[in-house]
Amino acid sequence: MEVLIFLLFILVLAIFLGFEIISKVPSLLHTPLMSGSNAISGVTIVGALIAAGLGEGEDTAALIGGIAVAFAAINVVGGYLVTDRMLNMFKKKDK
Amino acid sequence: MEEIRTLLNLVYILSAITFILGFKLMGRPTTARQGNVLSAVGMAAAIIATLLFPEVVRYTYLAAGLAVGAVIGALFAYRTPMTGMPQMVGLLNGFGGAASLLVAWAEFVARPYQPVYQGVIIWLTVLIGTVTLSGSLVAWAKLEERFIPTKPVLYPGQRVVSVMLLAAILGGGIWFAIDTAASSATQVLLTVTVLAFVLGILLVIPIGGADMPVVISLLNSYSGMAACASGFIIQNNLLIVAGALVGASGIILTLIMCKAMNRSVANVVLGGFGADLPGKAQDVFGEIKPVKPDEAYLILEAANSVVIVPGYGLAVSQAQHAVRELMEVMEKNGTEVRFAIHPVAGRMPGHMNVLLAEANIPYDALVEMDAINPTMDTVDVCMIIGANDVVNPAALEDKSSPLWGMPIIEAHRARTVIVMKRSMGKGFAGVENPLFFRNNTRMLFGDAKASLQSLINEFKSAVS
């Protein structure tokens, strides 16, 4: 239970931090912001990798974990690459 | 062993820092790309660190998952056209939810004996993850205009059904969490998953296609919350911090989109907008004044400053590149050309900016609504291409209009307005636009791309 309180503490701070930073992103960049946050929400991959890596006797759990890894990896790889592709198109006037 | 654990957890802290700095660098177009790369490096570090944990001993499923996911992700990233970005982001939201719900399931299957609070967290992660998944699939289908009608789907007793579903899911949660090792626990969690899947569908299906930008933003936030919840299951700070950042980002975008449409989040989420519009025609005075491209050219040729208001119709007719060319010939003629972007232009937040950037239009020519409106009186020509509701002056002048109160780009205050339109159809909201009947408005009918091309030709033949 004690850990839970500690984790909640982190959560609350992170939410405030998130609102603070992200409200500064201009609407010009809102689409890359969204695809970028897609990539970051793929951070679940950490939990998925641990589940998929479980040893003997945990076959079902490891298999479920493996599928979770696939979904999260689509988010991570797809999200970062497409964000990069988009941001690369934003050019300033060359003068 | 303990030292390795501490070291790897330090890597997680570094990853969290890169995510935060990455978002911070996203604040400016000049640094945004570095921010994204930095964040990706942090993610790679977190993945490698996780692989080094002592309990990760089996690599078959893990490697297969990584390989399959990476290939599919890369294909998505390079194959998706910019017009299809809302669908892609929508689908990725859903996959994020799926990953989190599966992590919760894996934890439960591996360790059925869980304290009550862990049971609650597993249930919550499954609920959020599943709703995100099925809701996103519906949103994707609506945006693709496949399988599901774009129009709001309404049926009697909609809210009652949703509330009953939610109650059943809640009951299932209590049943499950009290004794996660009970023989019935698997069936209960499975039932909760199925019910949550249905709930996600029912939550999104009554929402109209025009409101999808709000829905995607909201689901974006949910996918973050799901990641956050799964962070509580495995007690990992990185997941909690990253999930909270994404959750906050989605909420901010949701609020911005709602404000730009003058609707409350509740109004959008409860749905039905556009399904039951008042059929009465509003009284509109004045007459339509159509012009030919050569007349429109004369107006543009004499202008010192031109503001272009693009709408999604521009992207549909693939006219971004023609617009850029017109911009170039007008600039050569000594005219200042700017683009006014309404927050809900396009089909997701910021979509129009990406579509124009793809056509090599420099981002410093893209101006936000709030910045362009104060200068509108000094604009010679405001050209509207494929936009309608976002320039409808009824939003400011007609209290009985469904658009009343919505912030608009005040195109009608420019000296001359040229509206490029295929025909006299109504906008997404099905509302008549009095702008078309104003004295200073000229209508240039026809396909946007063809009209732009004839304007470009007029400019070019005048030079030679």
* pLDDT reported for residue A47: 93
Query: Per-residue pLDDT for B290 more than 50?
Result: yes
Nearest CA in chain A to B235: A7
Q: Is A2 on the interface with B (CB under 8 A)?
A: no
* pLDDT reported for residue B284: 63
Nearest CA in chain A to B12: A46
Catalytic residue numbers of B read 389
Write out pLDDT tens, residues B317-337.
788 889 999 999 888 888 899
Write out pLDDT tens, residues B163-203.
899 999 999 999 988 888 888 889 999 999 999 999 999 88
Nearest CA in chain B to A5: B232
Q: Is A59 on the interface with B (CB under 8 A)?
A: no
Q: Is the distance from CB of B417 to CB of B440 less than 8 angstroms?
A: yes
Question: pLDDT averaged over chain B?
Answer: 87
Distance from CA of A80 to the nearest CA of B (A): 6
A5 to A9, B248, B286, B415: CA distances (angstroms): 6, 20, 66, 61
| Higher pLDDT pick, B364 / B270 | B364
A17·B20 Cβ contact <8 A = yes
Domains of chain B with CATH codes:
83-270 (no CATH), 293-463 (3.40.50.1220)
Nearest CA in chain A to B34: A84
Query: Per-residue pLDDT for B243 more than 90?
Result: yes
Q: How far apart are CA A43 and CA A47, in angstroms?
A: 8
B231·A74 Cβ contact <8 A = no
Distance from CA of B355 to the nearest CA of A (A): 9
How crowded is residue B156: how many other Cβ atoms within 10 Å of its Cβ? 6
State the angle between helix axes of B32-51 and A79-87 in degrees (0 to 180), rounded to the nearest 10. 160
The shortest CB-CB distance from A68 to any of B106, B238, B256 is to: B106
Distance from CA of A5 to the nearest CA of B (A): 10
* pLDDT reported for residue B278: 47
The shortest CB-CB distance from B105 to any of A43, A58, A64 is to: A64
Sequence spans of domains, chain A: 28-87
Q: Is A57 on the interface with B (CB under 8 A)?
A: no
B252·A41 Cβ contact <8 A = no
Write out pLDDT tens, residues A72-82.
999 999 999 99
Going residue by residue through chain A (95 aa), what tens digit of pLDDT does each one get? 788 899 999 999 999 999 999 999 998 999 999 999 999 999 999 999 999 998 877 889 999 999 999 999 999 999 999 999 999 999 887 65
A10·B19 Cβ contact <8 A = no
Pick from A22, A50, A19, A15: nearest CA to A36: A22
Residues 20-49 of A with CB under 8 A from B: 21-49
A42·B43 Cβ contact <8 A = yes
Query: Can you give the pTM of this predicted structure?
Result: 0.89
A26-64 residues labelled b (16+ CB within 10 A) or e (exposed): bbbbbbbbbbbbbbbbbbbbbbbbbbbbbeeebeebbbb
Q: How far apart are CA A72 and CA A39, in angstroms?
A: 9
Residues of B in contact with A47 (CB under 8 A): 100, 103, 107, 230-231, 233-234, 236, 239
Pick from B330, B15, B368, B435: nearest CA to A25: B368
Taking residues B293-303, what's their average pLDDT? 86
Which ipTM score applies to this complex?
Answer: 0.94
How crowded is residue A89: how many other Cβ atoms within 10 Å of its Cβ? 18
pLDDT over 90 percentage in chain B: 47
